[in-house]
Amino acid sequence: MSKIVFITGASSGFGKACAEKFACHGYDVIINGRREDKLLELKEHLEKKYNTAILVSVFDVRNRNEVFEAVKNIPGEWQHIDILINNAGLALGRDYFDEADIDDWDTMIDTNVKGLIYSTKALMPLIKKSSSPHIINLGSVARDVYEKGNVYCATKAAVDILSQSMRIDLLRHGIKVTAIHPGAAETEFSLVRFKGDEDSAKKIYDGLTPLTAEDVADVIYYCTTLPPHVCINDLVLTCTQQANAIYFNRK
């Protein structure tokens, strides 16, 4: 039986790169997102290139009813999940606390925290069916606070704590839990954060050779292919020019 990986937020960025990485190694992949057209395009590409099975599952991780309904309707042959990659997440705005948009805060909390909780909880019965279950949670170096990070940083600190809690609570089921904390990576992330302002998005990477989505996908894949008795609990990866959430050596 082929191993199955479920990836949230798979239509772009880390999620899309993970779908490509696992598909090329023969995994069957369930790809989730809100943009059905992007997911169908990715499905066609992966099936044609790697001759593996791809299932599209369209739902918004922020909507609890959508999440549970979508999981309930997963076809029987897909109802064991070996790896869950909780990738769906975003940053909106980079403003001082007193000047920030509360709607942005709500969206980040609903996506980065509640979305991760809903997806994991809904898929838990299917994860428990695996003989080698593994949950990957995408955090960020932003769990360490920087100026104008406020609620985004808080959501990534929450992912860190939730990962620790899952690791403890799911220990009795033999479920590995790995938290991946990337630094600066050039994806759609900054463009979304600055709401389409390309100039502001590009400035984030001035003087840097940042991580790529493929770099992060390679690390995630590595973590999931270790021997059964080995689990990487937490992993921070940055480009060479970045020390943490604050310090950079820009050229």
Tens-place pLDDT, residues 119-162: 999 999 999 999 999 999 999 999 999 999 999 999 999 999 99
Q: Where are the domains of the chain?
A: 4-237
Q: pLDDT at position 134, please?
A: 98
**Distance separating alpha carbons of residues 217 and 21, to the nearest angstrom:** 7
- Residue matched to tokens 């840097």: 208
Q: What angle separates helix 13-24 from helix 213-224, to the nearest 10 degrees?
A: 50
Q: Report the pLDDT value the prediction gives residue 245, as an integer from 0 to 100.
A: 95
pLDDT averaged per 10 residues, the chain (length 251): 94 97 98 97 98 98 98 97 98 96 98 98 98 98 97 98 98 98 93 87 92 98 98 98 96 92
Q: CA 235, 121, 112, 157: dihedral to nearest 10 degrees?
A: -50
Q: Specify the CATH architecture of the domain 4-237.
A: 3-Layer(aba) Sandwich (3.40)
Residue 140's closest CA among 15, 248, 238, 20?
A: 238
| Contact (CB, 8 A) for 162 and 117 | yes
Note the helical H segments in the chain.
Answer: 13-24, 36-50, 64-72, 102-108, 116-127, 150-169, 189-193, 198-203, 213-224
Task: Tell me how far apart the alpha carbons of residues 124 and 122 are, in angstroms, rounded to a whole number.
Answer: 6
Give the residue numbers annotated as catalytic, written as ranges.
Answer: 152
pTM: 0.96
Nearest alpha-carbon partner for 158 in 231, 86, 246, 217? 86
